[in-house]
Structure 1
């Protein structure tokens, strides 16, 4: 074990010494005409270089794996038997040098995860109970501790601002470097930077539980998760290597040409084939990570590239979820009191429509004391039923009213339709079976959604579908603005799941895009689940892809990246197979020999790596268009 560790540590030095010995041997032959020195020097070079290769081959054999190193080791032994020390020296040197270049270039494909790791906070300034501060290792911070972060400092924990304000750069979380203002009670994430101001933060998640730590862990796991192509190639390589050994033995048995048999072993090394798919996978996932797009493995990339149907939730996905009361119809003489009652009941929910009602009620204060709720029942996808004193209050959508036999008058029904026709979501409040208020709540469509959906269509998406719990008129108004193909409204979460299942049953490959919380059943049932989430635990845990920016341009990039990563993998497989065919034809026609064959083999490995590295800087056409639009205009001189 110690010897193996020593060889691993000094493989680069061994490669350098081997290269120097080969040069000295060639000089002794061609300048000094010293043939014995040439033979001895190359034999020594072969032995030195063959040792780490043979050790790796033996280690693999002990684990019942037939590796490329085994083919090279047998080829070296054969070359020694026939006295071709120059061939064995060059083959082993090229193999080690190829491994060195391979490791260096692979490191570049992992720059995204290395960059994330380098941004991990290591220390925190903790505020003690007496007001004094203490610097400590970030791993020693506990939940509930108060940490201080000043201008230029890095937030070490996930938490809530309890004092101060500032502008944070959240690029480590979202991939977008714009500054975000944070004030009292706002959430902040580990790894973000305070560009201006100061914050005292109460820690809610620390250490490996922080959003930033989970992102790093997810990217690391994703880059090690194999795609279908990789799994197939792994199985193929297990049978391919022994098959090459058998083929070489048959070649020798029929031709009695030992040199030819050894050459078959060298040419049979499937290096480019084995490395081609993983390096594309790593580079593609790394590209996404740099842009705040977390793709959970090669298999997700494969499936997302085949998606032809995108299904969206509306509120918080197609729209921003920042709702405001845009219209109100009142059927009471005590408007402010009824508004206060509605706000009290909606206080038990965190639904965006409820939050809009609370905000609106705060702008119209009531003189009455806050109502006391004695009993509440939340009906998912419909609303809330509550007991207040001796009164029954129901607040929710039309379906909720129907469920509790609350009828609307002709005038109230007309008001409801007018609000819905204006593209507003509607919430009705009834007390003891009598409608008191109807709210029209508007939600802004996310910036760039329409253009992004058009770009997705150009990239091969055939169908855009919206599933929402909102009313039909509001849903259709949004669908018209965004040119969606289908819209289904008034749906409960379980009904959304049924639509997703039906789309799959019809032969579509479906991706569902939601907020990662209310829509988790649909996300789980789709072929690909995508969370438009700014780092929530549920969003990260339940979906296949997380868009940390919660932006549709990021969705366009993720889809384009998946398609190009799969295409890149296929290109690499083609290059690897074409190389083997070229070498076999060269062997038949006599223009490829052992050393030249190994050179072509190592060159093919580097070609597939460099081809995959193009993914690191990949941008879609839509990315480039967006960059041109946002580029600052300069005045001509």
Structure 2
């Protein structure tokens, strides 16, 4: 019996990867290396995954066509930016020669030599790539530009050839800058968590690299420091800025037994944190990994562009050859005029703008979302979220807080404080969720709960009784107190109880054998953000909102009405929720389901987009959902829909503009108005416009 071993896989980061065509070429080069079975370039994250075995030197050689630098993913290499003059000295020198050439007499030997120098300095790397591609019959933008510039020189159009070179170089430089800016969002996350931490081991405090820190180590975090690892606070109290993880702008109070995350900022107190995860397993490490994976996934629009571009460039070559040869051969046209027009077709046909139109928008949008505490797990989900027009919500833990809270204290014979004290003393021995809500409320109000509850007795399904300060008290359902003394529940009190119950609240009564002391209403209260979020969703064009819950009809209706939800479905089983999601999809085409990422898995999977709440520290949420709202703030959902709609609109705009500008420029060939410099200006302008248009996604506000 043979044993199969997993294929070796290595991930490397790439420095200098600025264009989608270069990424595809590098990927193909690596695939043909000895020992490599497959390779995948992640253009958005500037990484390559190599399956099989190869060397770093071989990878560097595969990327030498564009001077790409490759290094292991976890290598601690500090990248230093070259000064602008040093990085682009050849472009600056080429530009200087171009200016001098235009100052010299036209068509003079001196001007020709200066323009030739401008072409050589500015286009050397371009010619090297283009000529190699030409011999291999690989037609990309470098090939097209090389043929066009050489053709212009042969025709004596030295000034236009030099202008084309300098404009192309400027276009590439600006494209590189824009791509770096788009990637900056994920780099911000990578830099969020410190690489070292102060750890107490064997009664000694030592500074360790995060890769050396083990689960169970005690990490010491001083005020003003960032946490390097996920963990649980074992000593100290502080406020933590969790913006890198959840996108929350307001710091959160944390004390003993609370969970904290790597990359967050300790603002005030000294904390001792017990490490619960290794460096590679921290929440922020998983976010970075998932964001980079998401940026690698091709959205439907991008898949269309990639497929289109494969046939587009050879087609442009054919059109250019036809324009250059057919009129002179068959229509008595001038060779120099029509060859020049053919070269203009090559230049304007460069697919730069078209190729970059979709990936830069997706990289920018996913990165922006991650910085705001929203994890979108691929371009396909970004596009799908942009099309959503109906959203279904789970109730508990999504629209509501997920745990009961005291909402009303109604005292009849004592003040509210005394009513709450007696109730909490009675309930502090109980494990019921409603009891814990009362005890929490009393503790947060600073009430002393040291007095004992004597002769405690629980009456199953009804309530409890015990002695406090020598006096017997009863607490439970109103029906339980009516059993003790039917005269206690007066008509006025009964009306009050029914009103609270109709609001979806559980009402508990507290009394003695002769009197009812007061009522306490408990409910799983609505999140502060829910009402605002639902209002904003309607503003963003969501036509239908639906609540799907297993809770009773009265509670569901009360909460749904308070939130203004369009349709409320209660007392549902998981399979019923699944059926309702399918019905919604039939009616509205694209439907999102929002839940907690653990329950309602079938409904989340059946929806066009499954969205999980509160993914910070929750592996299940990050694994199961298509989009994860890292915090418990539902207001991130309208932001996600807004960003996705904007991204979808920008992708469509970019594609339409990129193709439209090409068609417009090609129409100028017929009257002979399309010059080489106008062609490259159109191509460069289109590239810059789609890039700038995509970067507008960075400005989308929450």
Q: 1:296 aligns with which of 353, 377, 380?
A: 377
Residue in structure 1 matched with residue 630 of structure 2 by the alignment: 548
User: Are the counterparts in 2 of residues 337 and 368 from structure 1 also a CA contact under 8 Å?
Assistant: no
- 1:178 is displaced (CA, Å) by 1.2
Change (3 A) 1:512 1:146: same
Residue in structure 2 matched with residue 254 of structure 1 by the alignment: 326
**Which structure is higher in helix share?**
1
TM-score by length of 1: 0.79
User: Are the counterparts in 2 of residues 142 and 203 from structure 1 also a CA contact under 8 Å?
Assistant: yes
Q: Secondary structure at the match of 2:233?
A: strand
TM-score by length of 2: 0.72
Change (3 A) 1:448 1:457: same
Change (3 A) 1:4 1:171: closer
Residue in structure 1 matched with residue 35 of structure 2 by the alignment: none
Residue in structure 2 matched with residue 627 of structure 1 by the alignment: none
Change (3 A) 1:65 1:312: farther
2:568 counterpart of 1:487: yes
Q: 2:595 aligns with which of 484, 489, 514?
A: 514
CA separation in 2, counterparts of 1:491 and 1:357?
29
Q: Secondary structure at the match of 1:143?
A: coil
CA separation in 1, counterparts of 2:457 and 2:213?
39
- State the Cα deviation string for residues 450-500 of structure 1 (Å, max 9, x = none): 232122112111111011121111001101111111111122333322322
5 Å matches for 1:393-432?
420-424=501-505
CA separation in 2, counterparts of 1:470 and 1:300?
30
Change (3 A) 1:255 1:353: farther
User: Are the counterparts in 1 of residues 131 and 146 from structure 2 also a CA contact under 8 Å?
Assistant: no
Q: Secondary structure at the match of 1:135?
A: strand
CA separation in 1, counterparts of 2:340 and 2:190?
49
Q: Secondary structure at the match of 1:19?
A: helix
Q: 1:46 aligns with which of 107, 119, 131?
A: 119
Q: 1:37 aligns with which of 94, 103, 110?
A: 110
Change (3 A) 1:148 1:65: farther
- 1:336 is displaced (CA, Å) by 11
- State the Cα deviation string for residues 253-306 of structure 1 (Å, max 9, x = none): 311322221111111112222222222222222322222122222211111111
CA separation in 2, counterparts of 1:484 and 1:265?
56
Q: 1:21 aligns with which of 89, 97, 112?
A: 97
Change (3 A) 1:308 1:64: farther
2:265 counterpart of 1:165: no
2:697 counterpart of 1:615: yes
- 1:318 is displaced (CA, Å) by 0.4
CA separation in 2, counterparts of 1:3 and 1:279?
24
Q: Secondary structure at the match of 2:252?
A: strand
Aligned residues: 552
- State the Cα deviation string for residues 212-246 of structure 1 (Å, max 9, x = none): 11122222232333221111111111111000001
CA separation in 1, counterparts of 2:379 and 2:614?
21
CA separation in 1, counterparts of 2:133 and 2:573?
55
2:268 counterpart of 1:196: yes
5 Å matches for 1:23-172?
23-27=99-103, 29-30=104-105, 35-57=108-130, 66-130=139-203, 132-172=204-244
Residue in structure 2 matched with residue 570 of structure 1 by the alignment: 652
Change (3 A) 1:326 1:263: closer
Structure number with the bigger relative contact order (C-alpha 8 A, sep ≥ 6) is 1
CA separation in 1, counterparts of 2:160 and 2:540?
50
User: Are the counterparts in 2 of residues 325 and 357 from structure 1 also a CA contact under 8 Å?
Assistant: yes
CA separation in 2, counterparts of 1:249 and 1:507?
49
Residue in structure 2 matched with residue 8 of structure 1 by the alignment: 67
Q: Secondary structure at the match of 2:270?
A: strand
- 1:152 is displaced (CA, Å) by 0.7
Structure 2 regions of 5+ residues with no counterpart? 1-59, 69-85, 329-337, 410-422, 444-448, 459-494, 509-519
Q: Secondary structure at the match of 1:216?
A: helix
User: Are the counterparts in 2 of residues 320 and 445 from structure 1 also a CA contact under 8 Å?
Assistant: yes
- 1:574 is displaced (CA, Å) by 2.4
5 Å matches for 1:203-218?
203-218=275-290
Q: Secondary structure at the match of 1:600?
A: helix
CA RMSD of aligned residues (A): 3.4
5 Å matches for 1:383-462?
420-424=501-505, 441-462=522-543
- State the Cα deviation string for residues 124-173 of structure 1 (Å, max 9, x = none): 1111132x210011121111111010101111111111111111111111
CA separation in 1, counterparts of 2:521 and 2:304?
55
Change (3 A) 1:290 1:493: same
Q: Secondary structure at the match of 2:366?
A: helix
Q: Secondary structure at the match of 1:154?
A: coil
Structure 1 regions of 5+ residues with no counterpart? 329-334, 347-351, 372-413, 428-438, 624-637
CA separation in 1, counterparts of 2:89 and 2:215?
48
Q: Secondary structure at the match of 1:312?
A: strand
